[in-house]
Structure 1
Amino acid sequence: MGGLREVAAPFVVPGPSGVALRTRLGQLTDADAQVLRRVGAHLGALAGRDLKTRCRHALVHDAGAWAVRKRELTPLSSARWAGAITRATHDQWALARRGALAHIRSLEAGVRMITHRLSLPVGSRGAKKAPGGYRSRREWHAKARRLRVLEDRLTRERADWTAGRVHVVRGGKRLARMRHQLPAAQLTEPQWRARWEAARWFLRAEGESGKQYGNETIRISPDGEVSIRLPAPLKQWANAPHGRYVLTGRIRFAHRGAEWADRVAANRAVAYRIHHDTARGRWYLTASWQIPVARTLPLTAALAHGVIGVDTNADHLAAWRLDPQGNPMGSPRRFFYDLTGTTGHRDAQVRHALTRLLHWAKACGVKAIAVEDLDFTAEKTREKHGRKKRFRQMVSGMPTGRLRARLVSMADATGIAVIAVDPAYTSQWGAQHWQKPLTSTTRTTTRHDAASIAIGRRAQGCSVRRRAAPPRAHQSDVHGHRTAQAAPKALGREGTRRRLPGPRTRSVPPDAERTRATRTPNTVRDVRSERERVQDPLLLTD
């Protein structure tokens, strides 16, 4: 057990803290679309100007500077629009700041790894937890040059971090760089220009409890009527009192619509965002609000009806149901998904796989799903794995964060708890202890299926190790009950059993010591047979 790291205890993942619903803004006239474009472009220009000001302030920004920013934007929009813009730009600056710190840590990890591998002899083999030296002198020199590049880049990033400088692109850096790769992106310049302008628009408003329908800027009535408070320079486009514009079409939320209607009718805060999909030519509206985090179900209560262990892989979820004692029941299930294609297609694939998983859990009556608490931030670096490009692509493509967040949100609606466990050694020990015993002529158990059993047993507090079955004579109650599992507090229960000589079960009969003491060795001569061969002299006398 000396080389194994300590396994963290499982815990129940807290439920979601917010709700977001999306619907389409249908039945819009050309005048409605024109007003939305004008408002989005005007507020987007103000948001870009405010973001520039916020980045200029860097680390010396305070509440007074924030008030000045809002005061400058109010005459050009409104007080509520100005508040929404300043908060959005501050959040964007903070997100860029966190991204810069993550980039610095990634560069530091790359510098450490290259330095370590350069210090090893060329061609030396690596260990389990650290790679060896580079394969050739040519690769060694190439990595030495890359080390200098990373060190210079790290120096610049550290200087920007100390000074509070961030690099932000409104609309997205990827979309901005796509302008130079239009043939590869299969876009024309007008199509890219439309996407770029729509991405830089600003049409979002935060809710406020106590106001009519929970939002004064973008107001939606319970019957679906949408009205927008126009900025001051665009008041001439208003078609309703108090500088408001009412859209022709009405909206309806197919999912949780009753909950949204109750919240709006009670004048509770609801935030709205309007965005335009240029590829489809459609307008969408997203409503969101905060909800109190539900009380976390105790771990013992969640595991009262068993658990379903889920192993996350690059193309499927491997799941197996366990009873309350930790024994696998039935056959494993696999829920496949395809993560190629567009972002919407990938998200839909993950959502459909989780829906099938939750339907199966509900049909089984299980109240808990165990997943690994995965974090691949340090496992997908280019410098650590080097030539293993397919492995890095596989790890990078696994939707660990998105899958867990969506699973928690979807499971909360069905009353199923999500338990996160430490992912250490689940695949290795699961394959070692469970893959072969559960493989038969009619069922092929994969390594991922065995890992799902290890995940489920770890969530239940049981050991991953499975003891070997006793002989046939010892499997009945005649010789007493023989459990096939390690005790919960057995020392070394998470490790590999030591190899000891003797029978398979290492069981000794109760009278073994007495038998050994009375047994005559085979090397001693038989005294009785020796006496029979010698004639007694007393028998020869009369």
Structure 2
Amino acid sequence: MTELRAIAPAFVVPGPSGVAVRDRLKHLTPEDDEVLRLVGAHLGALASADLKTRCADGLGHCAATWAARKRELTEQSSARWAGAITRASHDQWALARRCQADHIRGLAAAIATITRRLSLPVGKKGTGKEPGGYRSRLEWFAKSRRLGVLRDRLKRLRADHRAGRVRVVRGGKRLARARHHLDATELTQDGWRQRWEAARWFLAADGESGKRYGNETIRITPDGQVSIKLPVPLAHLANAPHGRYVLACRVAFAHRGTEWADRIEANRAVAYRIHLEAARGRWYITASWQRPAAPTAPMAAALAAGVIGVDTNADHLAAWRLDVHGNPIGNPRRFSYDLSGNAEHRDAQVRHALTRLLHWARTCGVKAIAIEDLDFQAEKSREKHGRRKRFRKLISGMPTSKLRARLTSMADATGIAIIAADPAYTSKWGAQHWQKPLTTKTRTTTRHDAAAVAIGRRAQGHPIRRRTAPPPAHQSDEQGHRTIQAGTQVRGREGPRPRIPGPRTRSVPPGRGANAGDQNAQHRSEHSAEHAQLMLSP
């Protein structure tokens, strides 16, 4: 019997600790566009040089080197611009360091998998948890060569990690590689150059509490006027006192505009970032600020009105509403999305699907949505699934982390709690116990719909297995009433009930149940042993 892994308890996902809103800078004059480009290019060059210096410092970075870098940048910009640039360099180096550590762990896991599979006989079948040996001697030989390549790669990465060396591309490695594949990306050389330069510009300022309107570098007044503190080499372009340049446009944040206005009126910190979307030639400004994390709602309060279980799939969200007792209500819902195309299109598709899900939850009066606590980092390995490229592509396309972060952020504004449940066996047990009972003549229940029911019941603390209904002819006599629910301490309660041998109804004569599973009983040309004894008896 296969041992089941431990099921982690469900928990309420904490809300977001930060807020970001964006608006377009409309009706900019040619002078405004030129000033923004000059400032972004100048500060971008300083940011690139500072990031190079920070990466060269590696693990030898200290407060003294940080202060020296900041003093050097201050002479070419300002103290506040220098602080923003150095902090951005630190954050980018730290992110590259974390990604490097994740890559090392992934390579170590791949090497362990290949080593184990190479030690097994060729053609040996695997189990549900571990893959078996390789299918042929040719595949075994190819994997042995790949093992050597991965070991060399891991050795170099570990040496870089010990030395504190990271490799970072300002503007993005994907965009840098697109320069060599312009035909595949449908870009011209001039179009690629515009995107590359815009991605490397730097126009971001950190907020400061106690300063006027929460930011001295990029300032937005309550009436929407935007002004920028120009760097020292570009101070001659100022059109306002104290070396500032005021843009001709006005900004009005439609989303969370009242919250933003309250912060700047109280002179609380607000960070701003200005960037150009080169593909459409549009300038945008993003305002962001931190806020204290709101206390999570107690589990009992969140589940007081029931829950909506959601099963995440590669192309849709399968959802079903459950009452407080874990019983499905109404019909399942399906929220589709298309994850093809660029990142902006995929993100818009996810947001649209989540918006429809939250609107449905509000109309139902439900205060909690249960999702799976998914993490496919270990499942995406080509060494684990081998030739199953379609399956690897399927799970790689599921937006697990982005969907959960986006859903948590969007649900926080509606007062709906997000509950994360352990994903173990939800699809398997949901299909086993709920798919057939919930299928009717007018409703076809899919495996994903049944998994949504299983996820919702696990979030509520109910076992996934349904109550076994009694036989219609014997609901209170002979076999007894069999609607007893297994307790939480019973081992294997999530599994199916064992079949009880013997006659099931009174229509079966005595003695006919002993050979019920014998296929000889169905042979019409001869009699089984039990039938022969009955015919010879007087």
Asked if residue 298 in structure 1 is aligned to residue 286 in structure 2, the reply is no
- Describe the SS at the equivalent of 1:57: helix
- Describe the SS at the equivalent of 1:379: coil
CA distance in 2 between partners of 1:194 and 1:188 (Å): 10
Work out whether residues 271 and 287 of structure 2, in 8 Å CA contact, stay in contact via their aligned partners in 1.
Answer: yes
Q: Deviations over 1:325-373 (max 9, x none)?
A: 1111111111110101121111111111111111111111111100000
Q: Deviations over 1:294-327 (max 9, x none)?
A: 1110001111111111000000001111110111
Residues paired across the two proteins, number: 504
- Structure 1 unaligned runs (5+)? 506-542
Work out whether residues 469 and 484 of structure 1, in 8 Å CA contact, stay in contact via their aligned partners in 2.
Answer: no
- Describe the SS at the equivalent of 2:184: helix
Q: Which amino acid aligns with 1:446?
A: T
How many Å apart are 1:5 and its aligned residue? 0.6
- 2:256 alignment counterpart: 256
| Match runs of 1:253-402 below 5 Å | 253-402=253-402
Q: Which amino acid aligns with 1:115?
A: T
Q: Larger deviation: 128-137 or 311-320?
A: 128-137
Q: Deviations over 1:41-79 (max 9, x none)?
A: 111111111111111111111122211111111111100
Q: Deviations over 1:510-534 (max 9, x none)?
A: xxxxxxxxxxxxxxxxxxxxxxxxx
CA distance in 1 between partners of 2:347 and 2:475 (Å): 50
How many Å apart are 1:80 and its aligned residue? 0.4
CA distance in 1 between partners of 2:503 and 2:37 (Å): 81
- 1:160 alignment counterpart: 160
How many Å apart are 1:496 and its aligned residue? 3.3
Work out whether residues 7 and 424 of structure 1, in 8 Å CA contact, stay in contact via their aligned partners in 2.
Answer: yes
- 1:71 alignment counterpart: 71
Q: Larger deviation: 118-127 or 46-55?
A: 118-127
| Match runs of 1:197-212 below 5 Å | 197-212=197-212
Q: Which amino acid aligns with 2:348?
A: A
CA distance in 1 between partners of 2:483 and 2:496 (Å): 18
CA distance in 2 between partners of 1:456 and 1:484 (Å): 21
CA distance in 1 between partners of 2:424 and 2:491 (Å): 18
| Match runs of 1:176-195 below 5 Å | 176-195=176-195
Work out whether residues 461 and 488 of structure 1, in 8 Å CA contact, stay in contact via their aligned partners in 2.
Answer: no
CA distance in 2 between partners of 1:296 and 1:288 (Å): 22
- Describe the SS at the equivalent of 1:330: strand
Structure exhibiting the larger radius of gyration computed from Cα positions: 1
Q: Which amino acid aligns with 2:210?
A: G
- 2:54 alignment counterpart: 54
| Match runs of 1:401-420 below 5 Å | 401-420=401-420
Question: If the length of structure 2 is used for normalisation, what is the TM-score?
Answer: 0.91
RMSD (CA atoms): 1.7
Q: Deviations over 1:273-295 (max 9, x none)?
A: 00001110100000000111111
CA distance in 1 between partners of 2:494 and 2:300 (Å): 21
How many Å apart are 1:2 and its aligned residue? 6.1
Asked if residue 501 in structure 1 is aligned to residue 515 in structure 2, the reply is no
How many Å apart are 1:475 and its aligned residue? 5.9
CA distance in 1 between partners of 2:175 and 2:414 (Å): 38
CA distance in 2 between partners of 1:3 and 1:252 (Å): 58
Work out whether residues 17 and 293 of structure 1, in 8 Å CA contact, stay in contact via their aligned partners in 2.
Answer: yes
Work out whether residues 319 and 452 of structure 1, in 8 Å CA contact, stay in contact via their aligned partners in 2.
Answer: yes
CA distance in 2 between partners of 1:12 and 1:498 (Å): 35
Work out whether residues 468 and 482 of structure 2, in 8 Å CA contact, stay in contact via their aligned partners in 1.
Answer: no
- Describe the SS at the equivalent of 1:155: helix
- 2:149 alignment counterpart: 149
How many Å apart are 1:500 and its aligned residue? 3.6
Q: Identity across aligned pairs (percent)?
A: 73
How many Å apart are 1:495 and its aligned residue? 3.0
Question: If the length of structure 1 is used for normalisation, what is the TM-score?
Answer: 0.90
CA distance in 2 between partners of 1:465 and 1:402 (Å): 31
How many Å apart are 1:111 and its aligned residue? 0.8
CA distance in 1 between partners of 2:390 and 2:504 (Å): 42
- Structure 2 unaligned runs (5+)? 506-538
CA distance in 2 between partners of 1:404 and 1:42 (Å): 37
- Describe the SS at the equivalent of 2:375: coil
Q: Deviations over 1:208-254 (max 9, x none)?
A: 01111100000000111000000011100000000000001111111
CA distance in 2 between partners of 1:202 and 1:131 (Å): 48
Q: Which amino acid aligns with 1:171?
A: G
